[in-house]
Amino acid sequence: MSKLDDVYSKLTIKTGAKLALVVLDGLGDIATAAQGNLTPLEAAKTPNLDALVRSGCAQGRLTPVAPGITPGSGPGHLGLFGYDPLEFEVGRGVIETLGLGIERKNGDVAARANFCTLDDKGIVTDRRAGRIATEVCERLCGLLSAKIKKLGTTQVIIVPGKEHRFVVVFRGAGLEGPLTDTDPNREGLPIAAAQPVDAKNAKQKKVAKLIADFYKAALPLLAKEKPANGFLMRGIAHQPDIPTFEQRYQLKAAAIAVYPMYKGLSQLVGMTKIEGPQTIREQFERYVAEYENYDYFFIHYKYTDKAGEDGNFAAKVKAIEDFDAALPVLLARKPDVLVITGDHSTPCALKGHSWHPQPVLLHSASCGNDKLERFTETGANLGSLGVMEAKYLIRHMQANAKMFDKFGA
Amino acid sequence: MSKLDDVYSKLTIKTGAKLALVVLDGLGDIATAAQGNLTPLEAAKTPNLDALVRSGCAQGRLTPVAPGITPGSGPGHLGLFGYDPLEFEVGRGVIETLGLGIERKNGDVAARANFCTLDDKGIVTDRRAGRIATEVCERLCGLLSAKIKKLGTTQVIIVPGKEHRFVVVFRGAGLEGPLTDTDPNREGLPIAAAQPVDAKNAKQKKVAKLIADFYKAALPLLAKEKPANGFLMRGIAHQPDIPTFEQRYQLKAAAIAVYPMYKGLSQLVGMTKIEGPQTIREQFERYVAEYENYDYFFIHYKYTDKAGEDGNFAAKVKAIEDFDAALPVLLARKPDVLVITGDHSTPCALKGHSWHPQPVLLHSASCGNDKLERFTETGANLGSLGVMEAKYLIRHMQANAKMFDKFGA
C-alpha cells in the first residue's frame, strides 16, 4: 500500500452513505469527420442524463493507467475501484479464469493453455492444433477433467475456452508462481519443462513438479487424438493477495454485472456478486431492491464497448440511449454519490480499446455544478475534476460521501 | 529508469510510423492589458495552423519540470524528449559546452571557468577580471589551447564563451566528477584546490590531479596578462550516461536545429544531427527530404524565444507568423503524429523563461477533435490533453503512432 493510500485509510470514517459506480464499458470515444465530428455521447439523445447534468454535476476525464497506455479490462476496472493498476498487476492466466467464470481463491496458480499437435517424437508441429473447434476443445477438457481432479493434495480445475484455448488452475496450499512457459514458442521443438523463475523458491518448485505430473497424467489421455494430442502452457502465475474493498474503504460492496469477466474482477477485490439481472433496467431495479444491503454498488454495462469494438457507431449511440432510457429507475432511489463513466475508451474509429481518457460524471449533494449542458468528452474537458488518474475516482466518491476526516488542523 | 518507464518499454512495438516534434522555443506567453489582453499566439495571424486545428487536433498544456519551476533549455528539451528532467540532470558545464557547439562524449568531465585577476601573492582581487571583452577572452583561450592540448593521456579542450567566461573539457579514460570549485567565491582569498567530492573515488582523484596540473601549465602562460592573469573553475562534473532515444523508444531520431545548443541537446540523447538548413522553411524542406530515413524528427525554431527574451511582442508575433507561413511545406508530407509546442514559456512581459505551462497541439489520425478554432494558450486550457508534465508528451505521441501494446487483459 502506498503512503498516500495509508493517509486516506487513516482519514476514513464510516458514514452509511450509498455510493454507486455505473461503468459503461469502453464509453469514451473520439470525434471524427466521418461521423459528423461527433462522438457517440454527443450524437446520442440522452434526456435523462442531460437533466441530471443540469441539476448539478462535476465532470472530468480519467486516465485509466498512465498517459498513452491502453488498458485491458482488468487494469481498467482496478483503476476505477481505486487500486493502482501498476501496483496491482493481475496475471493473464487469472484474467482468463475470471473471463471463463471460474471463481478465484487466494493462492491459486493459473495458466493459459493451448492444445497443440505433436509428432511421434514429441516435437510440436502445430502450436494451435489447427485451431480446433470450440466443441472439440470442450470435449478434450472434459476428458482431462474426468480423469485428473487432484494431483496429490492439489485440486486441478480445467476449463475450456474458445477454439484451442483452455485454462488450468492449481488450487491448494503452498503454491506460487511465476514459472517459465512450457510453450517453446515455435514449432520444431519439444514441449519445454516449466521452471521456477526463482530457483530457490520452494513453492515455485512445487508447482514445477505439479506441472510435470500434470503432463504425465494428461498426455496419455490425448495420445490417440488428432490433431490435438498435446498442449502448451503459458503465463503460469499466482494472484498476489489484494486487500478487499471493505478493508480498504470500509464500504460493503456489491457487483451487479452480467458478463463473467466483470463479476470476476469485482470478486478480485472482494465485492459480493449479485446474480440474475440481464438488462440494464433489470440491473437498476436490482440496485433499488438491494439498496439497504450494501454501501457501494458497481453496475457494469457491456454494450457500449461491444459496439466500439465492432466499429459500429450507430450501435454505440443506441447502447447509450438504452442506458439513458433505464436511468430513471436508478434515479428513483438516488445514491448519495453517483458516478457514471467508462473503464477506458473504445473509439468506434479504432475498433478497440484506446488510451484516450474516458469522460466521468459525478453527482452528489456537494459536488457543485460545472454548468455544462450535457455529459460528453469535450464537455468533460472543461469540468472541475480535470484530467486525473482513474485510481483517484474512489477518493472523490468517498469525499462526496463525507467519508474523510480533515487532514491536519 | 523508473518503473513506469519500464512498463512503457515492455509495451513498445516498432510500427514504422513517422513522428515529428516542432519546438517553437519559448512559445508560451501570458496576456497582459498592455498588449490588448492577447498573447502572441492569439495576436498572430496563423491561417495554416488554424486549418490544422479545425481538421482535428488534441490540445493541452505542458508543465516543463514541475509546478512553478522555470526551466533552462536543457531540462525544457529533455522533458519534451521524455526524459524526466529531475531524473536526468545535465551538468551546467555540459550545457555550456553544448551551447558552445562542442560535441559531448560519454565520460567527459567539463567545467565552467572565468578569467580573474590575481595579485602578486596569488590572491584573487577580481573574480571576473573586470569583465574583459569577448575578443580578449578568445585570444587568451587561443594562447592556452595552443600550449595545452594534452595532460598525460587526457585531451584538454578549451573553448571561449562571452566576456570572461570559458569552458574546459577533459576527455579521456577513467575520469569522473563532481569536484569542488577552485573559485573561492569571494575576493581576498587564493585559488582553491579542486577536491574530489567523494574522497575514496579514484576517478575523481585523477581529475583533481589533472586540474592541479592544468593550473601548473596554464598560470605561467597568463602571468604577464592584465587584468586576466588567472582563472577560476566551477561546476566540475561529468555527464552521466543517458539512454539513447532509440534504446528508450525504438525510434530512429533526427534533429533539424540551427543553434548549437539544440543540436547539442538532441545529441545528448543520441539523435542524428542534420546540418544545413537555416530558416524554418528550409528545415521543413529538409524534413520532407529525410522523411524515409528516420522515424522521429525534432525541428527546433529559436526566434519565438529570442523575441520573448527581448520583450518584443511584435517580433514574437512575427516569428509565429513566419512559422505559420512555412507550415504547409511540412504538411505536404504529414507525419503520422505531429506535435507543435514550446520547450517552456518566455513571456514578453517577463523578458525571460517562465514557469507557465506551454500550450501543446497534437495531430494524428486518432487524436480526436477538441473542437477548438485556434491554437492558443486559453484554447489549450480546454483541450483533451489537460495540463500534464512534459515528460509524458512522447508517450502520447507513441500511443497515437500505435506503438504500444495493450496493458493487461
* Mean of pLDDT over chain B: 95
Query: With contacts defined as CB-CB under 8 Å, which chain A residues touch B406?
Result: 70-72, 353
CB pairs under 8 A between A and B: 110
Identify which has the larger pLDDT, B101 or B386.
Answer: B386
Q: Which pLDDT belongs to residue B161?
A: 86
The boundaries of every CATH 3.40.720.10 domain in chain A are: 15-88+242-400
| Tens of pLDDT, residues B12-24 | 999 999 999 999 9
Determine contact: A5 vs chain B, CB below 8 A: no
Q: What are phi and psi of A229, to 5 degrees?
A: -105, 15
**pLDDT recorded at residue A1:** 63
Is B367 near chain A, with CB under 8 Å?
yes
Q: Identify which of A323, A321, A380 has the alpha carbon closest to the alpha carbon of residue A44.
A: A321
H/E run at residue A340 = strand A337-341
Q: Which pLDDT band holds residue A230 (cuts at 50, 70, 90)?
A: very high
Write out chain A residues lying below 8 Å of B407, CB-based: 65, 69-72, 75, 85
Instruction: Copy the grid coordinates of residue B203.
Output: 576517478
Whether the CB of A382 is below 8 Å from some CB of chain B: the reply is yes
| Residue in chain A nearest B378 by alpha carbon | A382
Of A30, A65, A99, the CB nearest to B368: A30
**Percent of chain A scoring above 70 in pLDDT:** 99
* pLDDT category of residue B260 using cuts at 50, 70 and 90: confident
Residue among B10, B13, B369, B388 with most chain A CBs within 10 A, to mutate = B369
Rounded CA gap, A239 and A102, in Å? 14
Average of per-residue pLDDT across B149-178: 93
Provide mean pLDDT across the span A355-360.
Answer: 98
Is the separation of the CB atoms in B102 and B157 below 8 Å? yes
State pLDDT tens for residues A271-318. Answer: 999 999 999 999 999 999 999 999 999 999 999 999 999 999 999 999
CB contact under 8 A, A347 and B366: yes
Q: Cβ distance B124 to B188 under 8 Å?
A: yes
| pLDDT tens-place string over residues B117-129 | 999 999 999 999 9
Mean pLDDT of B96-106: 77
What's the whole-number average pLDDT of chain A? 95
d(Cα A121, Cα A114) in Å, to the nearest integer?
19
CB contact under 8 A, A386 and B382: no
- Helices and strands, counts by H and E, chain A: 14, 14
Q: CB-based contact (8 Å) between A84 and chain B?
A: no
SS (H, E, C) chain A: CCHHHHHHHHHECCCCCCEEEEEECCEECCCEHHHCCECHHHHCCCHHHHHHHHCCCEEEEEECCCCCCCECHHHHHHHHCCCCCCCCCCCHHHHHHHHCCCCCCCCCEEEEEEEEEECCCCEEEECCCCCCCHHHHHHHHHHHHHHCCEECCEEEEEEECCCCEEEEEEECCCCCCCECCCCCCCCCCECCCCCECCCCCHHHHHHHHHHHHHHHHHHHHHCCCCCCCEEEEEEEEECCCCCCHHHHHCCCEEEECCCHHHHHHHHHCCCEECCCCCCHHHHHHHHHHHHHHCCEEEEEECHHHHHHHCCCHHHHHHHHHHHHHHHHHHHCCCCCEEEEECCCECCCCCCCCECCCEEEEEEECCCCCCCCCCCCHHHHCCCCCEEEEHHHHHHHHHHHCCCECCCCC
- How confident is the model over A197-205, as a mean pLDDT? 94
Give the gap in angstroms from C-alpha B368 to the nearest C-alpha of chain A: 4
Give the residue, A240 or B200, on which the prediction is more confident: B200
Nearest to B170 by CA among B137, B120, B206: B206
Nearest chain B CA: its distance from A49 CA (Å)? 22
Percent of chain B with pLDDT over 90: 88
Q: What pLDDT score was predicted for residue B235?
A: 86
All three cell numbers of B198, joined, read 567523494
**B100 — pLDDT class (breaks 50, 70, 90):** confident
A178 touching B, CB under 8 A?
Answer: no
Task: Please identify, in words, the CATH class of the domain defined by A15-88+242-400.
Answer: alpha beta
* SS3 category, A126: strand
* Cβ–Cβ gap A70/B404 under 8 Å: yes
pTM: 0.86
Residue A377 CA to residue B370 CA, distance in Å, equals 9
For the domain made up of B14-88+242-400, the CATH class stated in words is alpha beta
Task: List, for residues B191-235, the tens digit of each pLDDT value.
Answer: 999 999 999 999 999 999 999 999 999 999 999 999 999 999 998
Residue pointed to by grid coordinates 514459472: A179
pLDDT tens by residue, A129-154 = 999 999 999 999 999 999 999 999 99
| Inter-chain touch B408–A74, beta carbons under 8 Å | yes
pLDDT value of position B1: 60
Residues of chain B with CATH 3.40.720.10: 14-88+242-400
> Average pLDDT, stretch A196-203?
94
Q: Looking at the complex, does the CB of residue A31 fall below 8 Å from at least one CB of chain B?
A: yes
Task: Over range B132-136, report the average pLDDT.
Answer: 95
**Helix, coil or strand: residue A129:** coil
Across A67-76, A171-180, B186-195, B237-246, least confident range: B237-246
